[in-house]
Amino acid sequence: MTDASNSQASNGQAPNSDTNLTGARIGVITFPGTLDDVDAARAVRYAGAEAVALWHADDDLQGVDAVVVPGGFSYGDYLRAGAISARTTVMGAVVEAAKGGLPVLGICNGFQVLTESGLLPGALMRNEHLRFICRDQWLRVENNTTVWTTRYEPGAEILVPLKNAEGRYVADASVIDELEAEGRVIFRYVGAEGDHNPNGSLGDIAGISSADGRIVGLMPHPEHAIDALTGPTDDGLGIFLSVIDSLLKV
Amino acid sequence: MARVEVDVVIKTEILDPQGKAILGALGRAGHSGVTEVRQGKHFELVVDDDISDADLEGIAEHFLANPVIETWTVRRVPESGL
């Protein structure tokens, strides 16, 4: 595996590369077929933490303070998107650590891995209209009290890329009711009526959290929106800044 | 060695857009009389003779299917079926 921090340093794109301003260490998992680990690690460094590369076969999380499960097509989406990744050695370690309060963020395929591993309820299914969707997407931050969202104003609307074919959030009606009642719908698709929901997700749900707000999963990609040079906005950076804030408070 | 077949299908209350697309295409292709299509997965396993029904059920429930969105059936195929 390529050392992401070295590759970033060599092309000069990440001003904060190799500098850990906060002392926080955030793991970024790579499975076979993961695509967005490099951008996720870059976002971690932009926010001022050290990005620690974790491999699917690792049973040691190297003492990281939080974990990002990034997007891509791990294991080729075989069986179900995220299904095989959820049963890897490293995810066994993540599930154990999450029980002890380790903050975990799942983005896109990473969100699928978190639902398949049982860390978050529900499932992500084929988009209603069967198309792979790639567009910049407005989201409303519905809850800014999770460890991953404190940097946002209540009800803030953010613009980040969305790219998936299996992003339709589904769950039993009782689970949806529970998520809504407990404020665990964290990100919701917003925008022009009729076009705002890209995939048929129930309740326009783009992202949810665990009951304690320490585990968050979302389909859109905040790690691709951390500076205006390479993304539509820098709206996504707040997610990484938020978790670092929470780590520094501990 | 024994053979086991597992069929997995999306729950009826959950939208299956692939099934809907197939249904629409069937009509356009002139195959009338089909009113619903649901697409699923079919697995053929070759297993040790001593694997228990409980083990097979566990494989189906915890790996081959996702109980949140799918239902499944497990069937042992008789020896003559090999």
How far, rounded to the nearest angstrom, does the alpha carbon of residue A98 sit from its chain's CA centroid? 15
Average pLDDT over residues B32-38: 95
Q: ipTM, 2 decimals?
A: 0.86
Q: What is the pTM of this model?
A: 0.90
Say if residues A160 and A136 touch (Cβ distance below 8 Å).
yes
Could you say which of A116, A142, A223, A224 is catalytic? A223
State the pLDDT at residue A193. 86
In this structure, what token pair is assigned to residue A66? 């939080």
CATH for the B2-81 domain, from 2.120.10.70, 3.30.1280.10, 3.30.930.10, 3.10.129.10: 3.30.1280.10
State the pLDDT at residue A13. 44
pLDDT level of residue B79 (50, 70, 90 thresholds): confident
Distance from CA of B40 to the nearest CA of A (A): 11
Domains recognised in chain A with CATH numbers:
4-249 (3.40.50.880)
Domain boundaries, chain B: 2-81
| Of B14, B18, B64, Cβ closest to residue A130 | B18
- Where chain A has pLDDT below 70, the residues are 1-19, 250
State the pLDDT at residue B21. 94
In this structure, what token pair is assigned to residue B10? 């999306």
State the pLDDT at residue A12. 39
Q: Is A134 a catalytic residue?
A: no
DSSP secondary structure of B27-63? HHTT-TT------EEEEEEEE-TT--HHHHHHHIIII
Q: Is the CB of A79 less than 8 angstroms away from the CB of B18?
A: no
Nearest Cα to Cα of residue A123 among A169, A159, A162, A155: A169
DSSP-based three-state secondary structure for B8: strand
State the pLDDT at residue A5. 43
| Chain A residues close to B68, C-beta within 8 Å | 115, 121-123, 170-172
| Chain B residues close to A115, C-beta within 8 Å | 68
Distance from CA of B16 to the nearest CA of A (A): 8
| Mean per-residue pLDDT of chain B | 94
Structure confidence by residue, pLDDT tens digits, B2-12: 999 999 999 99
DSSP secondary structure of A146-164? STTTTTSPTT-EEEEEEEE
State the pLDDT at residue A250. 66
Q: Is the CB of B64 less than 8 angstroms away from the CB of A79?
A: yes
First to last CA, chain A: 32
B18 part of contact set with chain A, CB < 8 Å: yes
